[in-house]
Amino acid sequence: MTRNRLFRLAAIAALMIASCSAMAQLRFGADKKFKIVQFTDVHWMYNDSRSDVAGENMRRILDAEKPDLVVFTGDVVFASPAKPAYDQALAPVIERNLPFAVVFGNHDIEFDLTGEQILEHLATKPGNLTSTTNGVSGVTNYVLTVKKSDANRDALVLYMFDSHRDSQAPEAVSGYAWIERDQIDWYCSSSDRFTAVAGSKPVPSVAFMHIPVPEFEYAVAGFDNFMVGTRKEAVCCPKINTGLFASMLIKRDVMCIFAGHDHVNDYITEWKGMALAYGRYTGGATVYNDIQGGNGARIIEFTEGERSFRTWIRLNDGNRVINEVTWPADFKNKK
């Protein structure tokens, strides 16, 4: 990473901190619940009528669910000009005064804005919690925490990962990029700090990224692992495994990795005691999207003090809910 890029990311991080500090902290409600809507693969194209379907989908789901946080897991825009495309894609969330966070997908920085320029634009938006960590590979690596309902202590940790684009060594390994070693070190040191503050007890955590880690592929390789949801394509993950999943198992804090990228998969499964889940394709007909029932979103609900979560898919009419499960209860003794 060049010195100029380090300085620019540091400046952006400071801007993000300043913009986020004006917002209320994420916090469990009086009912001890915290709800996230995961929108993924919006693939918005500016002033393209095919994206109107995505906007209608998001508005209906947000009105039905009234979440505490919205997470966009990558590929938010899909054409230049990117800045007004982001404005249109984020409008359903901003109109409802909801906090939101973004992690980049493999397409987000393919157009007329760099990752740093996208971050700077997001920093102007009310409700934005997207940030960066200086000195870590990629751009959208950062942590969000959800406080206890009645105290200023962290009850839930959300790890956001930049899953990059293409292979870092294309002459040797084709396909998608992999999580870098410094990202894993950043996660491990962050996890250790939260655990230490909590009296050596791991804080319940989840992770969000765009491209799934290879364990998504391992979990379904034999077609006999228990899953809930739709699987219509192979897992499109990197061919190199750098050990993020293993590090999460060792730290014992992350309950689930939520990914996107594969538009016609929306299932949740379990591997080695950790949940792995796809979001539901959120976009319109700007890319392939032939998943039964059409677009929608994954909803995730946590209960304060519990190492568990409920999750379901809400479809685009805002009324239909499918594939509701509770982890880990519904996965015990299942294969």
Q: What is the torsional sign of CA 291, 328, 271, 40?
A: positive
- For residue 134, the model assigns a pLDDT of 94
Instruction: Give me the CATH number covering residue 316.
Output: 3.60.21.10
**What is the arithmetic mean of pLDDT over 8-18?**
55
Task: Judge whether residue 22 has pLDDT over 50.
Answer: no
Instruction: Give the structural domain span for 42.
Output: 3-331
For the chain, the domain total comes to 1
Q: Which of 65, 147, 82 is nearest to 118 (CA)?
A: 82
Examine the pLDDT at 10 and tell me if it is beyond 70.
Answer: no
- Confidence grade of residue 3 (pLDDT, cut at 50, 70, 90): low
**Residue 171 pLDDT:** 83
* HSE-CB for 265 with a 13 A CA cutoff: 24
Query: Contact, 191 vs 204, CB < 8 A?
Result: no
Q: Which of 163-172, 211-220, 266-275, 319-328 has the lowest mean pLDDT?
A: 163-172
Global confidence as pTM: 0.93
Of 299, 335, 285, 295, the C-alpha closest to 315 is: 295
pLDDT for res 108 = 86
145: tokens are 């925490």
CA 51, 52, 54, 59 torsion: positive or negative?
A: positive
Q: Pairing relation of β-strands 274-278 and 254-259?
A: parallel
What stretches of 148-270 show up as alpha helix (H) in DSSP?
Answer: 181-197, 215-220, 244-251
- pLDDT value, residue 24: 55
**Radius of gyration of the chain measured on its C-alpha atoms:** 18
Q: Tokens at residue 57, please?
A: 């989908």
pLDDT digits (tens, 9 = 90+) for 207-247: 999 999 999 999 999 878 899 999 999 999 999 999 999 99
Measure the CA–CA gap between 234 and 139, rounded to whole angstroms: 27
CB 295 within 8 A of CB 57: yes
Write down the pLDDT at residue 333: 79
Q: Which residue has the higher pLDDT, 73 or 10?
A: 73
Q: Which two tokens stand for residue 3?
A: 């010195």
Range 97-119 average pLDDT: 93
- Comparing 21-30, 232-241, 244-253, the range with the smallest average pLDDT is 21-30
pLDDT of the residue at 21: 45
The answer on pLDDT for 299 being more than 80 is yes
For the record, the structure tokens of 182 come out as 């410094």
Q: How far apart are CA 323 and CA 243, in angstroms?
A: 30
